[in-house]
Amino acid sequence: MGASASTPAIIAAYINVGKVFGLPVLLDARVFALEDETINQPMDSKTVIVDRILSMKPKT
């Protein structure tokens, strides 16, 4: 996930691949910190951006 949010061009491509293939795209609000129009162009009214992504790992 970290690599997919490294540059505006990669984020835009990631969003477009999700749209073309009907796949969910996991991004959080940090994408707006980049403040780039390239990211906003592929987003539409169906786009949902979460505040943050939490994950849990089993105790080892």
User: Would you say the pTM of this structure is higher than 0.75?
Assistant: no
Q: CB-based burial of residue 21 (10 Å sphere; 0-12 exposed, 13-18 middle, 19+ buried)?
A: exposed
The whole domain housing 14 covers 1-60
pLDDT at position 14 over 80? yes
Number of domains in the chain: 1
Q: pLDDT tens, 21-59? A: 988 888 877 777 777 787 777 777 777 777 887 888 888
What is the pLDDT averaged over residues 7-32? 83
Q: Is-contact 39 8, C-beta < 8 A?
A: yes
Question: Which residue(s) pair with 50 in the sheet?
Answer: 28
Pick 1 or 30 by higher pLDDT: 30
